[in-house]
Amino acid sequence: MRQWYGVRAKGSRMTRSWAEPWKIKVVEPIRMTTKQERIAAIAEAGYNTFLLRSEDVYIDLLTDSGTSAMSDQQWAGMMIGDEAYAGAKSYYNLVGAVEDVYGYEELIPTHQGRAAEHILSQILIKDGDYVPGNMYFTTTRFHQEYAGGKFVDVIIDEAHDPTSLHPFKGNIDLDKLRKLIDEVGADKIPYISVESNVNMAGGQPVSMANLKATYELCHQHGILVMLDATRTVDNAWFIKQREEVYADKSIAEIMREICDYSDGATVSSKKDNLVNIGGFLALRDPELAKQARALLVAFEGLHTYGGMSGRDMEALARGIREMVETDDHVRARVGQVEYLGNKLVEAGVPIIRPVGGHGVFLNAKAILPHIPHDEFPAQALAAALYVESGVRGMERGIVSAGRNKVTGNHNYPKLELVRLTIPRRVYTQAHMDVTAESVIEVVENSAAVGGLRFTYEPESLRFFQARFEPIG
């Protein structure tokens, strides 16, 4: 019998776009405001997008942190979360998920990523120690310094160059690392902090070859490797695309191998893990885990819930499994970011390339060359974009970089960026179109955007709560 369907003409090649591997079951209305309203709102917020009320925001690209849409499976898990104070079933489900997906046996649950960073820094860093890392992250560096350590940037130079097209801009420069070990001695370096898909570099990945080489070098010197595995799924996707030998491996397999080159990890579950709150520290060494749990009970909660409720742990356990269940999930996630990025590239807007995993990073220095660095070009650009369109982004430049502890001067980062971060499973392609149109409009009228100065500058992590006013 002839097959009724499925016989295709010889040589025909089908090409298909990716589409999200889910459909929408619940929606939340959003509201567009008038320009007059937005001018008043941003002034009220001291020109800091962190201080806007979300009801005044149309498309919220402040962060991909805690802003994901949970699946029906996760919501169902919320209902059966075990709220026992000790030994909850949901805790053991979480332990199982972390072990299966990341491969770490010791789990220390926390309320979010920075709590895990706090505990890790306190158990490992002594006064006067050095902690190398592939570019700083704000909260990570804060906790390293708070514990008496000094952060040393050992990322490759290309990461600081917005025009470099290096496929793995998150890589560690092994020569810089070797030089640090020679200069200060391995006993002054408790661990290296390796961030997957480096946030401040624009969501740029680390290659598997580099992870392996870093692990080997560190272990020769007795230095631990601690992964910031907050966005490892995105990193796994880029490895699959760009590191040939991984093309046929699943995201789940690549994830596991990334983690194999580490002794533990801190994770903000508000990103990859598809939940609105949560995080964890995961370790291999039971002795270290014991020390971590001693701090956990003091700062977070009992060791079988840390900083989370039973339902949070249940939704998290399911989110962890979901993020690697199919490769289509991350393909659609990174694909959407790339879609927005490509639209801006086509329009000639200067952005960090290659397009990153969790967002598109506008090069504010190039867009607003008339604003001096100490008048905060990226802060001004984020405010102007909000006023133009109701789209909310985040400054990732000199305000985020803070001041040098010794001299009191601003740290002047090479990258002066506005991050448009895409929440997972939340916005549609049409939202990306509107965002691109809004950015293009601001860039075309960039001469109208002026600089800012502080009216309030917090001492640490100043970007969160700082207030500004326009100059002139």
Please, which residues have CB within 8 angstroms of residue 2's CB and are 6 or more apart in sequence?
A: none
Instruction: Check residue 264 for interaction with ligand P70 (CB under 6 A).
Output: no
464 is catalytic: no
299 is catalytic: no
Q: Which of 56, 142, 110 is nearest to 387 (CA)?
A: 56
Catalytic residue among 60, 129, 228, 312: 228
Q: Which residues pair with 403 in a beta bridge?
A: 410
Instruction: Check residue 137 for interaction with ligand P70 (CB under 6 A).
Output: yes
Reduced to 3 states (helix: H, G, I; strand: E, B; else coil), residue 419 is: strand
- Cβ proximity to ligand P70: between 137 and 215 the closer is 137
Q: Buried b / exposed e across 40-60, counting CB within 10 Å, b at 16+?
A: ebbeebbbbbbebeeebbbbb
Q: Tally Cβ neighbours within 10 Å of residue 36.
A: 9
Strand 359-363 to strand 59-60: parallel, antiparallel, or no bridges (unpaired)?
A: unpaired
Catalytic residue among 311, 396, 419, 425: 396
304 is catalytic: no
Q: Which of 77, 203, 205, 279 binds ligand P70 (CB under 6 A)?
A: 279
Q: Which of 140, 304, 438, 446 binds ligand P70 (CB under 6 A)?
A: 140
Query: Interacting stretch for ligand P70, rule CB under 6 A, among 132-140, 287-295, 346-354, 431-439?
Result: 132-140
Contacts 24+ apart (CB under 8 A), 363-369: 363/162, 363/415, 363/416, 363/417, 364/397, 364/416, 364/417, 364/418, 365/162, 365/397, 365/416, 366/162, 367/443, 367/446, 368/446, 368/449
In the range 361-400, which residues lie near ligand P70 by CB under 6 A? none
272 is catalytic: no
396 is catalytic: yes
Kindly determine how many residues on this chain lie close enough to bind ligand P70 according to the rule CB under 6 A. Answer: 16
Instruction: Check residue 193 for interaction with ligand P70 (CB under 6 A).
Output: no
256 is catalytic: no
Reduced to 3 states (helix: H, G, I; strand: E, B; else coil), residue 29 is: coil
Q: Which of 48, 49, 121, 138 binds ligand P70 (CB under 6 A)?
A: 138
Q: Which of 48, 49, 63, 210 binds ligand P70 (CB under 6 A)?
A: 63
Instruction: Check residue 109 for interaction with ligand P70 (CB under 6 A).
Output: no
Whether the CB-CB separation of 180 and 154 falls below 8 Å is answered with yes
- Cβ proximity to ligand P70: between 292 and 443 the closer is 292
Instruction: Check residue 232 for interaction with ligand P70 (CB under 6 A).
Output: no
Catalytic residue among 47, 280, 463, 468: 463
| Distance, CA of 325 to CA of 100 (rounded, Å) | 12
Q: Tally Cβ neighbours within 10 Å of residue 119.
A: 25
Instruction: Check residue 60 for interaction with ligand P70 (CB under 6 A).
Output: no
- Cβ proximity to ligand P70: between 249 and 419 the closer is 419
Whether the CB-CB separation of 300 and 110 falls below 8 Å is answered with yes
State in angstroms the smallest separation of the CB of 350 from ligand P70.
21
| Distance, CA of 65 to CA of 273 (rounded, Å) | 10
Q: Tally Cβ neighbours within 10 Å of residue 348.
A: 9
In the range 203-222, which residues lie near ligand P70 by CB under 6 A? none
Instruction: Check residue 144 for interaction with ligand P70 (CB under 6 A).
Output: no
The residues assigned a catalytic role are 85, 137-138, 228, 271, 396, 463
Binding-site ranges for ligand P70 (CB under 6 A): 63, 65, 112-114, 137-140, 195, 199, 228, 230, 268, 270, 279
